[in-house]
């Protein structure tokens, strides 16, 4: 099996899920300026999905890259597909569902390349596990896309071990990245075996909702976050990211903010080397009880 390592050498990835809701960045030149500023800041991983804004996020991003020749060579792109929303369901049922069929995956990859305006996707992830997945056919579609140079690597999102291992067993290339919900407000994967399984299988964890949609900062860990943030000279949000980054495999948080000043602060704070006792104090505060 070939081995294609991920090089997530940044404190976090920039999540593009809200790009379509930011009118100030919809003009290609304005978004190109924003992207270039992030690249100059050292943040070059951009996380997309075809359902973000019903493809609008990828389209806006691609328009910006086409408006500023040279940017496409500097960005690193992750995108996801396999969720079919009701409005995109061509059947009479108009039902939200998952589609990991070989034909759908191949079309989704080609469409994402066109919308994003890049020559290849650094990482392409299956967005949700599909109970109807024919692993051999899906594996062949992913392997073929990698062999054709369309993908740097393939991965999964929100999968359980039995499902990704069935897919991996049919693939030539390694599943490299895995997006999962992980934060101080949602630490269950650290205790139910999911996190250990994906790291043990060589997947690089990407943490979506790393601040729990704000719950990390307003929930039971808030007093401890505030106290430690003052002690270490960082923001509470940056401390919460440093807590994630301390885990094995160095999880890559996916940050949804588009505000340059917030991203600059988080970029600095997330690199904090958090002491072990401080890490457990935050875990205890978030869970409401000490470890066994």
Say how many CA atoms lie within 13 Å of 180 toward its Cβ: 25
Q: Residue 9: what pLDDT?
A: 83
What is the gyration radius of the CA atoms in the chain, in angstroms? Answer: 19
pLDDT tens for each residue of 246-272: 999 999 999 999 999 999 999 999 999
CA-to-CA dists, residue 170 to 106, 166, 251, 255, 267, angstroms:
17, 7, 26, 32, 38
How far apart are the C-alpha atoms of 183 and 242, rounded to whole Å? Answer: 11
Reference 128, options 186, 173, 70, 84; nearest CA is 84
For residue 196, count other CB atoms closer than 10 A to its CB: 15
pLDDT band of residue 111 (cuts 50, 70, 90) is very high
Q: Say whether pLDDT at 3 is over 70.
A: no
Q: Say whether pLDDT at 2 is over 90.
A: no
All structural domains of the chain, each given as residue ranges with its CATH number in brackets, are: 13-287 (3.20.20.100)
Residues 6+ apart with CB under 8 A from 182: 189, 190, 195, 205, 207, 208, 209, 210, 244, 251
Q: Say whether pLDDT at 52 is over 70.
A: yes
How far apart are the C-alpha atoms of 139 and 142, rounded to whole Å? Answer: 5
Q: What is the pTM of this model?
A: 0.96
pLDDT band of residue 7 (cuts 50, 70, 90) is low
How far apart are the C-alpha atoms of 82 and 97, rounded to whole Å? Answer: 8
Q: Are 116 and 46 in contact (CB under 8 A)?
A: no
What is the token pair recorded at 272?
């904090």
Average pLDDT over residues 279-283: 98
- DSSP element (H, E) containing 39: helix 28-40
Strands 83-84 and 97-98, by their bridges, are antiparallel
Query: Which residue in the list 8, 34, 45, 52 is annotated as catalytic?
Result: 52
How far apart are the C-alpha atoms of 164 and 33, rounded to whole Å? Answer: 38
How far apart are the C-alpha atoms of 116 and 60, rounded to whole Å? Answer: 8
pLDDT band of residue 126 (cuts 50, 70, 90) is very high
Q: Is 98 a catalytic residue?
A: no
């Amino acid at each position: 099996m070939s081995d294609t390592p991920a090089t997530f050498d940044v404190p976090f990835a920039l999540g593009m899920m809200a790009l379509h809701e930011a009118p100030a960045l919809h003009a290609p030149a304005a978004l190109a300026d924003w992207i270039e500023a992030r690249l100059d800041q050292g943040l070059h991983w951009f996380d997309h999905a075809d359902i973000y804004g019903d493809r609008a996020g990828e389209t806006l991003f691609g328009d910006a890259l086409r408006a500023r020749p040279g940017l496409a060579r500097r960005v690193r792109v992750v995108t996801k597909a396999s969720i079919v929303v009701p409005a995109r369901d061509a059947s009479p049922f108009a039902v939200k569902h998952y589609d990991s069929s070989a034909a759908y995956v191949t079309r989704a990859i080609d469409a994402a390349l066109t919308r994003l305006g890049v020559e290849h996707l650094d990482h392409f992830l299956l967005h949700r596990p599909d109970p109807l997945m024919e692993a051999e056919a899906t594996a062949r579609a992913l392997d073929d896309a990698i062999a054709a140079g369309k993908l740097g690597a393939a991965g999964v999102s929100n999968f359980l071990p039995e499902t990704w291992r069935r897919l991996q067993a049919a693939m030539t290339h390694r599943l490299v990245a895995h997006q999962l919900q992980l934060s101080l407000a949602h630490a269950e994967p650290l205790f139910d075996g999911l996190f250990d399984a994906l790291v043990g299988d060589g997947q690089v964890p990407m943490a979506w909702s790393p601040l729990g949609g704000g719950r990390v900062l307003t929930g039971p860990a808030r007093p401890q976050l505030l106290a430690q943030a003052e002690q270490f000279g960082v923001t509470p949000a940056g401390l919460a990211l440093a807590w994630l980054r301390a885990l094995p495999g160095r999880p890559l948080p996916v940050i949804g903010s588009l505000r340059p000043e917030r991203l600059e602060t988080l970029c600095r704070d997330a690199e904090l080397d958090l002491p072990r006792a401080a890490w457990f104090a935050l875990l205890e505060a978030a869970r409401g009880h000490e470890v066994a």
